[in-house]
Chains A and B, each alone.
Chain A
């Protein structure tokens, strides 16, 4: 049975995939489909409720909320993807080496545990300060450092079980070097747990980025982002609830589809992983 059939058979996964495709399309076509310039001020039309000219209403500067939500999808995807790549690039090598060489693993895992003792958002906040404040690259590094240890954990435990497999033992018996075993037998088998963890990293990190932007320490305010929009909307929550409702809804839907897709990947690629908990 192909992956495509598997997706079609489960309605919820199908909906999640459609949602993901929609977000991708919106991201790619943002300048074409956005009805207005997301940064264009139009003070006479401020705080207009959703209607025919502005389907999602306007904000306190008269900017079109729909256009800002569309452009917000761009930066959200970009950050989520970059953070997941960061976590994979740093997490996988450290995890594999820790899992394969016991003494390294003993030390590395204690450090990973210590790093994970800090609440994610607090660690990200502190790292943002250390890196010197707001900025797209800083957000990627800060949130990436928060999620990399979780990737290390996943890769480490998978490596531990893979290296006990008979085919690794036989490779060693015929005289394969550690490097060859790692590259040819272990890393290739890590693909499924890494994809699963990367999907969850994506979901959690876009939520965390939104929280950073909401607190005013994420990306610079001139880039439209869902978290930033919600932060600005706070003071208008009673008069213009659409300002916070729409970006929040799209954030929740995106995280939801990534969570569902992550679950589906996990069930599909490796039934053994099902019992493992998130994070």
Chain B
């Protein structure tokens, strides 16, 4: 479970990557894994530690689709919207999934349990339409898969 922003933990992460070439992305990945997002207070903190400007760090955080400024729901479902999944009816399946959970792209359920996001290719292109639930791959999505996902999200 992610914890709230904590300067000591932040410092530990930065120290862990000291001496690495180009450490910013590995640091941001670890921040997000620890705090669930890149909190706005972390930006000047990282900037000072790496001798960068705040603008440079903010520029990097905002450039990459992965980095969030707010934590996601407890579970994250990524649905592939790229061509190979489109050819297997992926768009209709994605719409069905959004309706199933009452969400739009990028939305989180009111209980904070599930966030649904778009992704563009998971490399499962011969088993489409595909998805990823909390990092676990799901292929050959069909309507029944959505019930499985809902059940899994509810118990974990």
A interacts with B: no
